[in-house]
Amino acid sequence: MTAHRISLTQYLVEQQRQHGHIPGQLRLLLEVVARACKRIAISVNKGALGDVLGSAGSENVQGEVQKKLDIIANEVLIEANEWGGALAAMASEEMEGIHVVPNRYPQGEYLLLFDPLDGSSNIDVNVSIGTIFSVLKKPDGAAGVSEADFLQPGSQQAAAGYCVYGPQTTLVLTVGDGVAMFTLDREQGSWVLTQHGVQIPADTKEFAINMSNQRHWAPPVRRYIDECLAGKDGPRGKDFNMRWIASMVADVHRILSRGGVFMYPWDRREPNKAGKLRLMYEANPMAFIVEQAGGAATNGRQRILDLPPGGLHERVAVVLGSRHEVERVTAYHLEAG
């Protein structure tokens, strides 16, 4: 294996050179994001030894208590990306407004959005967490850069990825030419291509949902889960297994690896919010990756990548993963009117 190792750099150069998928600036940007994820992985691994666990005693724009690692990861991503010349601005779950690249650095053509540390509730209990990112192109001809430039549907993404900090540190990436996975070789400090052309099986017997919210769900979601729970003797004619890690990165990573359906639906407790997850830096990048791996992603009614965003921190219901199951859940919603 060692003799034929393909590094992230080599993979990206080949994408640029042979397939024409990515311009030089985008390649540079993705390398910088990957380097930042390596630094975040080091902090995550230190845990209690690095004084990185616990709450930071502050709240983010969504009113959620920030963990120290949320803030560290956000700072690492900003510092790593602002001087490279590929970006015009960044947006993050941890910042209310956009972060424009300061004047002292050259302005690039791209916009980067991220959830610096997804699955925050798992930080202190040593369960997998991750970083999710989405790359958009700044609209042509726009003078300067504003929040409105970010409000593009997910179908416009130039690239998307996530890094899962688990038993292995794995970077998963798409530039619109399938999905590739890179494992961090800690001794060498480099990302090594370990899988490409990732495909999600269209059928599955595994679902992921937070069952404790069952009483708040809408009827189509109840119907789907009830049918799964009925098992072999129910209308589906097969037994289903359930998994819920409470880190979207880890749940999506399992689905990319062996199939499954992931749902964070709308629920009655907050009728004005479309769900818990954020469209622009959680649902869109994951939907892009899942579609590139042959899966599907909807909000129960429409394709996530077609949704026009109304704001940076907009929330959305999410159903993604194995295509036939996502189609079924979506059909149940449409039938319900």
As annotated, the binding site for Mg(2+) includes 93, 115, 117-118, 282
Phi, psi of 178 (to 5 degrees): 85, -175
Please choose, from the candidates 128, 34, 45, the residue with its C-alpha nearest in 3D space to the C-alpha of residue 76: 34
Selected range binding ligand AHM among 31-39, 113-121, 173-181, 266-274, rule: CB under 6 A:
113-121
Q: Is 120 in the site for ligand AHM (CB under 6 A)?
A: yes
Specify the residue, 118 or 325, whose C-beta has the smaller distance to ligand AHM: 118
Per-residue binding string, Mg ion, 97-136, x by CB under 5 A, is ------------------x--x------------------
Per-residue binding string, ligand AHM, 18-57, x by CB under 6 A, is ----------------------------------------
- The answer to whether the beta carbons of residues 92 and 116 sit under 8 Å apart is yes
Q: Is 246 in the site for ligand AHM (CB under 6 A)?
A: yes
* Near ligand AHM by CB under 6 A: residue from 131, 174, 204, 247: 247
- The answer to whether the beta carbons of residues 241 and 204 sit under 8 Å apart is no
Q: Is 267 in the site for ligand AHM (CB under 6 A)?
A: no
- One DSSP character per residue, 216-245 reads GB-HHHHHHHHHHHHGGGSTT-S--EE---
Specify the residue, 45 or 121, whose C-beta has the smaller distance to ligand AHM: 121
- The answer to whether the beta carbons of residues 227 and 285 sit under 8 Å apart is no
Q: Is 291 in the site for Mg ion (CB under 5 A)?
A: no
Q: Is 64 in the site for ligand AHM (CB under 6 A)?
A: yes
Please choose, from the candidates 195, 225, 192, 230, the residue with its C-alpha nearest in 3D space to the C-alpha of residue 209: 225
Cβ neighbours of 134 (radius 10 Å): 31
Ramachandran region of residue 26, left (φ > 0), alpha (ψ -120 to 50) or beta?
alpha
Please choose, from the candidates 154, 173, 193, 198, the residue with its C-alpha nearest in 3D space to the C-alpha of residue 293: 198
Cβ neighbours of 83 (radius 10 Å): 14
| Closest distance to ligand AHM from the beta carbon of 20 (Å) | 34
Residue nearest to ligand AHM (CB): 248
* Near ligand AHM by CB under 6 A: residue from 27, 32, 87, 118: 118
Where is the binding site, in residues? Answer: 93, 115, 117-121, 210, 276, 282
**Residue 220 interacting partner from Mg ion, ligand AHM, none (CB closer than 5 to 8 Å by kind):** none
Buried b (16+ CB within 10 A) or exposed e, 256-292: beebbbbbbbbbeeeeeebbbbbbbbbbbbbbbbbbb
**Residue 121 interacting partner from Mg ion, ligand AHM, none (CB closer than 5 to 8 Å by kind):** ligand AHM
Q: Is 74 in the site for ligand AHM (CB under 6 A)?
A: no
- The answer to whether the beta carbons of residues 265 and 218 sit under 8 Å apart is yes
- The answer to whether the beta carbons of residues 57 and 67 sit under 8 Å apart is no
Specify the residue, 26 or 221, whose C-beta has the smaller distance to ligand AHM: 221
**Residue 182 interacting partner from ligand AHM, Mg ion, none (CB closer than 5 to 8 Å by kind):** none
Number of residues that bind ligand AHM (CB under 6 A): 13
- One DSSP character per residue, 102-139 reads PTTS---SEEEEEEEEE-GGGGGGT--EEEEEEEEEPP
Q: Is 116 in the site for ligand AHM (CB under 6 A)?
A: no
Task: Give the interface with ligand AHM as residue ranges (CB under 6 A).
Answer: 64, 93, 115, 118-121, 210, 246-248, 264, 276
**Which residues are near Mg ion by CB under 5 A?**
115, 118
